């Protein structure tokens, strides 16, 4: 698999797995308006992932489609970060995960609008408008949790304590990313890491929340090394397609 294809799959997989996680809340949101809001955010992210997987199939040129990429690959062949595969747990946990990804994606896709790859640039231009709303939505929720009751603050803080160790995986870089940056296809995520950290930590502080100290950071998702949660996600996401591989919708 060449670097171009792998970079596109990293972008696509991060959205695909996150949208799968968010879709688990459909019909279970805290109230109807929020249920619809999170479902629509999930669909936005899934739409972006679908466009990227369609492009990946075109780049690969081996008669695969976005469906085969989504439903026929095994766990080690997915290149999403470990952060997005973490379980929803409670609503504070979901929104803490979401706000970290939203801020990252806003920086990333803003930069990708200038990609030398016209397809990626086009997808990014459409996505930035959606991600801007996503980040506004998730950051507002962090303030509600942090400045709400003692219980809501505690739930948000517990989520940060659990999820912060996976945040470095967003910025993991290797020869794939280095090649894509050199070709001006990609954005070097580490170029905005300090800004991401400052914005996220400032938001948490405004919400009377903090990040844990001396955290052992976990990476590896982008090279196919996942947590124990990933297999369960794929089992649910892929079960119908694998049991009826010749079905046409």
pLDDT digits (tens, 9 = 90+) for 144-179: 999 999 999 999 999 999 999 999 999 999 999 999
Range scoring the smallest mean pLDDT among 75-89, 172-186, 196-210, 231-245: 231-245
pLDDT at 16 over 90: yes
Structure-token match 């930590």, residue found: 201
Residue 11's pLDDT is what?
A: 98
Q: What is the mean pLDDT of residues 35-54?
A: 96
pLDDT at 30 over 90: no
Q: What is the mean pLDDT of residues 116-137?
A: 98
Q: What is the mean pLDDT of residues 25-46?
A: 92
pLDDT band at 249 (very low <50, low <70, confident <90, very high): low
Residue 209's pLDDT is what?
A: 98
More confident residue, 63 or 101: 101
Could you tell me the sign of the dihedral formed by the alpha carbons of 131, 240, 229, 88, in that order? positive
**pTM: predicted TM-score of the whole model, two decimal places:** 0.95
Q: Give dist(CA 8, CA 75) in Å, integer.
A: 17
Dig out the tokens for 67 from the structure: 């469906």
More confident residue, 37 or 246: 37
Q: What is the mean pLDDT of residues 73-99?
A: 97
pLDDT at 92 over 90: yes
Question: Who contacts 55 (Cβ-Cβ below 8 Å, separation ≥6)?
Answer: 8, 119, 120, 123
Nearest residue to 25 via CA among 80, 84, 88? 88
Residue 246's pLDDT is what?
A: 75
Query: How is the chain split into domains, by residue range?
Result: 3-243
**To the nearest whole number, what is the mean pLDDT of the chain?**
95
Pick the CATH number of 3-243 from 3.30.1330.90, 1.10.3720.10, 1.20.1260.10, 1.10.10.10: 1.20.1260.10
CB 180 within 8 A of CB 7: yes
pLDDT band at 63 (very low <50, low <70, confident <90, very high): confident
Q: What is the mean pLDDT of residues 6-26?
A: 97
Q: What is the DSSP code (8-state) at residue 11?
A: H
pLDDT at 218 over 80: yes
pLDDT at 248 over 70: no
Residue 152's pLDDT is what?
A: 97
Residue 153's pLDDT is what?
A: 98
Q: Give dist(CA 101, CA 84) in Å, integer.
A: 8
CB 185 within 8 A of CB 7: yes
Quote the percentage of the chain above a pLDDT of 70.
99
CB 166 within 8 A of CB 218: yes
Nearest residue to 174 via CA among 212, 134, 225, 139? 225
CB 78 within 8 A of CB 229: no
Residue 244's pLDDT is what?
A: 81
């Amino acid at each position: 698999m060449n670097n171009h294809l792998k970079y596109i799959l990293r972008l696509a997989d991060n959205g695909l797995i996150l949208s799968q996680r968010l879709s688990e809340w459909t019909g279970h949101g805290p109230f109807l308006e929020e249920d619809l809001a999170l479902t629509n955010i999930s669909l936005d992210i899934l739409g972006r992932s679908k466009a990227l997987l369609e492009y990946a199939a075109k780049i690969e040129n081996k008669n695969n489609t976005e469906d085969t990429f989504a439903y026929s690959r095994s766990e080690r062949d997915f290149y999403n970060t470990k952060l997005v595969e973490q379980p929803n747990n409670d609503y504070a946990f979901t929104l803490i995960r979401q706000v970290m990804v939203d801020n990252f994606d806003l920086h990333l896709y803003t930069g990708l609008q200038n990609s030398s790859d016209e397809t990626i640039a086009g997808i990014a231009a459409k996505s930035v408008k959606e991600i801007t709303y996503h980040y506004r939505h998730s950051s507002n929720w962090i303030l509600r949790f942090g400045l709400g009751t003692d219980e809501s603050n505690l739930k948000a803080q517990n989520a940060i304590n659990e999820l912060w160790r996976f945040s470095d995986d967003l910025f993991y870089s290797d020869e794939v990313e280095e090649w894509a940056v050199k070709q001006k296809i990609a954005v070097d995520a580490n170029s905005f890491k300090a800004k991401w950290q400052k914005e996220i930590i400032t938001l948490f502080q405004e919400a009377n929340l903090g990040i844990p100290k001396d955290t052992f950071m976990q990476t590896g998702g982008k090279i196919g090394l996942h947590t124990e949660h990933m297999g369960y996600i794929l089992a649910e996401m892929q079960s119908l397609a694998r049991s009826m591989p010749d079905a046409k919708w």
